[in-house]
Structure formats: C-alpha cells, structure tokens
Amino acid sequence: MAQIPTEQDRQNLKAKKFLVWLFIVSSFILFAGFTSGFIVYTAGSPNRGIKTILPHTFIYSTAIIILSSVTMHLAYLSGKRLQFGKQKLFLVLTILLGIAFFYAQLTAWGTLIKQGVYFINYNASQSFIYVFTGMHLLHIFAGLIMVLTALIGKIRNISQVRNMFRLETTSIFWHFIDILWIYIYVFLLLNQ
C-alpha cells in the first residue's frame, strides 16, 4: 500500500532539495574562483600559459559525461512513468558511465605526466589542469554516490514520492556536473 506523504515529509524533502541547490551554487563559486585565479596568474606574462596540448582523452570524457546525462534523464523519466525496470537499468548505465569518466580522467592525468606536466612544477598554470579536473572528479564521486543511493532506494522499493525526490535531486546534480565539465574543458581548450 502506497504511503501518502505528510506535510512534514514534504517540508523535509524541500529542505533537502535546497541543500542540493546550495551545494551547486557553492561549487559554482568555487570553480569561478579557480577560473579567476587562473586568469589572474596568466594575465601578467605570456610565459605563464598552459603550454601543453590537452590529452585527447578529454574529448572521450566529454562524450561519456554527455551520454551519462542522457541516461540519467532517461532514468528520471522512467521513474516518472512508473517503469521501474527501465529506471534501474538507466541508473546502472549512469553509474557505469560515471566510472568510465573517472577512469578516462585518470588516464588523461597519466598522459599529462608522460608529457612532463606535473601537479607541482614551475608553471602553476599547468597545475590548474589538475586542480580543475581533480575537483571535478570529487564532484563526480559525490554524484556517483547519489546515483547509487537512488538505485539502492528503488531496489529496496521505497515510496514513489521518495523515489522521485531522489531521482530529481540526483538528476539536477548530475546535469550540473555535466555542464561543469563542459565549461572546464572549453576553458582549458581556450587557454592551452
């Protein structure tokens, strides 16, 4: 028998949703600060540019994260349509694509190291590559935990109200980290 959410349940879910939005805004401010730091550091001297070719793996990462955003959206739509088998499938695909993105980023770091680009070096602008991508990977990790929580909730057959809440907040966050990666990648491309 389906449980009808009380007004208290609705208020609690609204507060939790607000926290997700607060985290997104604070993450946006953090990356804006990184961007500003990079621009200020490189503005004074042409010798302070990245001066390296970004790994081609970043292109694959971009394709992977965009595809994962599609699967996350399909999971949300499936939950809305009460197609729980599809919802679980798309959540699993999102997790697998998130892991693939994580692996691709680590592979890109390996490529950078082979090029002689290290986190600690004389050219701090090259270090920013690791700062941007490393902080983004932390967000991916948080997003993966959220997707996994949504999947576990559906496996445990939580109420539809809570299921949709988890799907909605997870979807919002996952799309944010997708857009954030595209921003980071374009920013690094324009400054390489």
Residue ranges per structural domain of the chain: 7-190
Report which of residues 161 and 147 the model is more confident about. Answer: 147
38-70 tens-digit pLDDT: 888 877 666 666 677 889 999 999 999 999 999
Instruction: Give the pLDDT of residue 53.
Output: 81
Euclidean distance between CA atoms 68 and 174, whole angstroms? 9
Three-state SS string over 54-108 comes to CCCHHHHHHHHHHHHHHHHHHHHHHHHCCCHHHHHHHHHHHHHHHHHHHHHHHHH
**Contact predicate 71/99, CB 8 Å:** no
Q: Which CATH number fits domain 7-190: 3.30.70.20, 1.20.120.80, 3.40.50.360, 3.40.50.300?
A: 1.20.120.80
Euclidean distance between CA atoms 93 and 169, whole angstroms? 18
Instruction: Give the pLDDT of residue 143.
Output: 96
Instruction: Give the pLDDT of residue 2.
Output: 46
Report which of residues 123 and 148 the model is more confident about. Answer: 148
Give the three-state DSSP class for 30: helix
- 116 — alpha (psi -120 to 50), left (phi > 0) or beta? left
- 82 — alpha (psi -120 to 50), left (phi > 0) or beta? left
Instruction: Give the pLDDT of residue 44.
Output: 65
**Contact predicate 117/53, CB 8 Å:** no
